């Protein structure tokens, strides 16, 4: 048989999670069979078979009916008569108020009739309603099944038709008098949208007959993928549905067609076992697999040498990078930093492809400003140490010395450039400046000295102090001086010396009004002498060749 006689249908259960899997399978299967194989090769179902498949889809989809009933407001004869009487009542009252009205005159009688007409209508309605109510109770059936009430006498029929009294109406007496209120009712009728196992089996075999019955050379391979990834209840129902594909039966023409169908189900053994954890017996998962699958193949984990080659191929295909040095660096970063977070001895092809795709997404934004190994390290950190990326400057990364051996001593700048979305040249500023600002404000000497040991940190500190020193208060200058107390003239270096000179210059430009610190240090405390001593000490501490035993600044605030 040629390739056109063997087709593979893949159904991804995970993509249809939350839907009715049986219905989704039938719809996807029909769509697959109606696809053309090539320009000169028709689909496997056409003509009458395609019409039958379309009818199956309609049966599955048309399983909901919506109906709406709306009644408009109306008024009864009693209500019309009452409204007319209400309109006549004011005229009757007006006639009674005229000077010509007397107890015996026609004006008085007409006025009284018109004024009392609303009350007369209500009284008449009450008499008729009570009479009808008593008559209905007297004519009520005495035994189950009797007709509820007899037809009224002919002489009373005209009264019922003209002035109806509907005792069963939900609005009661008032509704019978004035009319019905506006009513709108919407009814939705739903049937079970997921076909039963018998219906599903019938649809499935009918489609197989339409697709394979026309040509004995046709073969079909069905792949049910990701059944071990859906929710447990859905997965158990889906696994049970597979018996439709595998259940043996009597030898019929349909069985001959089923012999040309193969079912392939990739699954994770651990995931299948977890589906049965709620059951009391641990042997259910093993028994289920043995009774469901006639042949089982075990996929061995890839060897390190083999998946290293595959990983290199992924990098070449996705990034177009042929440098062996780059491949080795990315491979070691993935193996040492990312692979332990996956909690498996060897990565799957999906793991390597996902890692490579993440690198591609970041490389499109930052490469070549940030080298590919540093991009790979950022992706690996996202998988293994995501919280460390929030504070790159102070974080103690695992394997720092190992990464510095082949990435250089400024690899944190690359991580900062990616994380903060800046160019690599500005990475030191966003990496160290917030931490330096905090340490200078707190006067944290040891913490600042540890931070400034990082490459580029001293230059960043010097730029920051140069920017903020002219506007610093005396309290901020004193705190910053304490923060630099961990350095001596021999190890301060040029950048730290510049910081001390900038602070000393700020002290020299301060007036007495700047020295009020919480009301403790005032101009009366010999401020000028204090400022001169501080300047001398700062300048002396940063002068080359100064004796390190006397470089400390002693400030006593009383």
Name the most confidently modeled range: 93-107, 141-155, 333-347, 527-541: 333-347
- In SS3 terms, 396-444 reads as CCCCHHHHHHHHCCCHHHHHHHHHHCCCHHHHHHHHHHHHHHHHHHHCC
The string of pLDDT tens digits covering residues 61-119 is 665 555 666 666 667 777 777 778 778 778 777 777 776 666 556 677 777 777 778 78
Q: What's the confidence (pLDDT) of residue 348?
A: 83
Q: What's the confidence (pLDDT) of residue 200?
A: 78
Distances (CA, A) of 97 to 63, 75, 118, 173, 403: 71, 33, 19, 35, 111
Instruction: Let me know if 540 is exposed, middle or buried by CB neighbors in 10 A (0-12, 13-18, 19+).
Output: middle
Q: Which residues of 422-441 are buried (b: 16+ CB within 10 A; e: fewer)?
A: bebeebbbbbbbebbeebbe
Q: What's the confidence (pLDDT) of residue 376?
A: 92
The string of pLDDT tens digits covering residues 355-409 is 999 999 999 998 888 999 999 999 998 888 888 887 776 677 778 888 888 888 7
The string of pLDDT tens digits covering residues 280-321 is 455 666 776 676 677 888 877 767 667 888 888 888 888 887
The string of pLDDT tens digits covering residues 537-551 is 555 444 555 444 444
For the chain, the average pLDDT equals 72
Q: Of 513 and 187, which is predicted with more confidence?
A: 187
Alpha helix locations (H) across 97-171? 106-115, 117-138, 154-162
Closest CA to 513 of 483, 470, 473, 480: 473
Mean pLDDT on 191-199: 66
DSSP 469: G
Which residues on neighbouring strands pair with residue 67, listed in sequence order? 187
Confidence check: pLDDT of 518 > 60: no
Confidence check: pLDDT of 555 > 50: no
pTM attached to this predicted model: 0.51
The string of pLDDT tens digits covering residues 11-48 is 887 777 766 777 788 888 888 888 776 666 677 777 77
Q: What's the confidence (pLDDT) of residue 513?
A: 45
Mean pLDDT on 106-133: 75
Alpha helix locations (H) across 7-47? 21-33
């Amino acid at each position: 048989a040629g390739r056109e006689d063997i087709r593979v249908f893949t159904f991804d259960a995970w993509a249809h999670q939350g839907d009715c899997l049986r219905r989704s399978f039938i719809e996807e299967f029909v769509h697959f069979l109606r696809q053309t194989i090539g320009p000169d090769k028709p689909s496997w179902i056409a003509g009458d078979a395609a019409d039958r498949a379309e009818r199956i889809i309609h049966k599955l989809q048309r399983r909901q009916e919506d109906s709406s009933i709306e009644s408009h407001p109306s008024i009864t004869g009693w209500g019309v008569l009452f409204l007319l009487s209400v309109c006549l009542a004011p005229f009757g009252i007006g006639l009674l108020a005229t000077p010509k009205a007397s107890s015996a005159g026609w004006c008085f009688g007409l006025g009284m009739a018109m004024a009392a007409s609303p009350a007369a209508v209500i009284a008449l309605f009450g008499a008729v309603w009570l009479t009808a109510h008593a008559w209905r109770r007297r004519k009520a059936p005495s035994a189950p099944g009797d007709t509820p009430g007899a037809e009224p006498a002919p002489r009373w029929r005209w009264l019922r038709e003209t002035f109806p009294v509907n005792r069963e109406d939900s609005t009661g007496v008032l509704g019978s008098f004035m009319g019905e209120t506006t009513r709108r009712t919407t009814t939705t009728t739903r049937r079970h949208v997921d076909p039963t196992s018998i219906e599903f089996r019938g649809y499935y075999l009918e489609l197989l007959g339409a697709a394979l019955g026309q040509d004995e050379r046709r073969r079909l391979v069905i792949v049910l993928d990701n059944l071990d990834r859906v929710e447990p209840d859905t997965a158990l129902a889906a696994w049970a549905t597979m018996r439709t594909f595998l259940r043996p039966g009597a030898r019929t023409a349909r069985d001959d067609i089923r012999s040309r169908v193969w079912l392939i189900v990739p699954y994770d053994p651990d995931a299948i076992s977890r589906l049965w954890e709620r059951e009391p017996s641990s042997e259910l998962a093993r028994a289920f697999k043995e009774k469901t699958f006639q042949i089982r193949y075990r996929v061995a984990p890839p060897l390190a040498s083999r998946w290293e080659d595959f990983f290199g191929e992924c990098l070449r295909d996705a990034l177009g990078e042929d440098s062996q040095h780059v491949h080795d660096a990315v491979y070691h970063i993935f193996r040492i930093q990312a692979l332990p977070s996956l909690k498996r001895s060897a990565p799957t092809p999906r793991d390597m492809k996902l890692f490579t795709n993440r690198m591609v997404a970041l490389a499109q934004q930052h490469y070549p400003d940030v080298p590919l190994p540093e991009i790979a390290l950022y992706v690996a950190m996202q998988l293994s140490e995501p919280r460390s990326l929030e504070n790159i400057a102070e974080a103690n990364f695992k394997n720092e010395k190992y990464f510095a051996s082949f990435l250089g001593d400024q690899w944190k700048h690359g991580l900062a450039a990616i994380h903060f979305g800046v160019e690599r040249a500005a990475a030191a500023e966003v990496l160290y400046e917030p931490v330096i600002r905090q340490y200078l404000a707190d006067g944290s000497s040891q913490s600042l000295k540890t931070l400034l040991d990082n490459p580029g940190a001293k230059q960043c500190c010097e730029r920051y102090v140069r920017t903020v020193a002219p506007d610093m208060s005396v309290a901020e200058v004193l705190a910053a001086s304490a923060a630099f107390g961990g350095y001596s003239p021999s190890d301060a270096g040029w950048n730290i010396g510049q910081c001390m000179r900038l602070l000393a210059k700020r002290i020299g430009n301060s007036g007495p009004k700047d020295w009020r610190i919480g009301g403790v240090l005032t101009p009366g405390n010999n401020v000028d002498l204090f400022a001169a001593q501080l300047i001398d000490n700062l300048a002396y501490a940063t002068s080359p060749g100064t004796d390190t035993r006397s470089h400390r600044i002693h400030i006593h605030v009383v």
